[in-house]
Amino acid sequence: MFTHVCRFERAENGDIHVEVPIDITLAALGGVVDVPTVYGDVEMTIPPGAQPGAKLLMRAKGAVKLRGGRGGGGKGDQVCHLKVTVPKALTARQRELLQAFQDDVNGVEKEVVGEGGEEEGGEEEEKEEEEEEEKEGFFSSLFSKEDDDSKKKE
């Protein structure tokens, strides 16, 4: 969590409108950020799947309303307009992960390479081997296992 640098947009009847920049991962996954208000920093929860331009309301975190106007005497709200920021440069790993995400969204099946350079997909390989064994037939796999067991005993 860190305090986001917000840009003041406007004040209207005690309500303060600010622009809160968040990165694409925070917008997609959700999380908690510290947002500055006139009363100090306040934690704000970003819901998963937050869209650019979404407005999140922080009740009673705006300016004090003067008598006379609508709802005079109380505190206004702070309206946070989410601005989703997209990185201008990506590392090779970030690019690879985003490409894998895009492929998943589009229904393209590709194996993801893990951090150690090893392919993650061992379960798929095991399933393929099992399917090949099924294709060979029950008796041929049974006899090949018996042959393997007899060789081990010798």
Placement of tokens 């090893």 in the chain = 118
pLDDT tens digits for range 68-108: 555 556 889 999 999 999 999 999 999 999 999 999 999 88
Q: Across the chain, how many H-helices and E-strands are there? A: 4, 8
Q: What is the mean pLDDT of residues 42-51?
A: 96
Global pTM exceeds 0.75? no
**In this structure, are residues 53 and 27 in contact, taking their beta carbons and an 8 Å threshold?**
no
What is the residue-averaged pLDDT of the chain? 77
Residue % of the chain over a pLDDT of 70: 60
Confidence of residue 32 (pLDDT cuts 50, 70, 90): very high
Residue 1 has pLDDT above 50, yes or no: no
pLDDT at position 13 over 90: no
pLDDT value, residue 2: 44
Query: What does residue 139 show for φ and ψ, rounded to 5 degrees?
Result: -70, -40
- Give the pLDDT mean for 141-150: 52
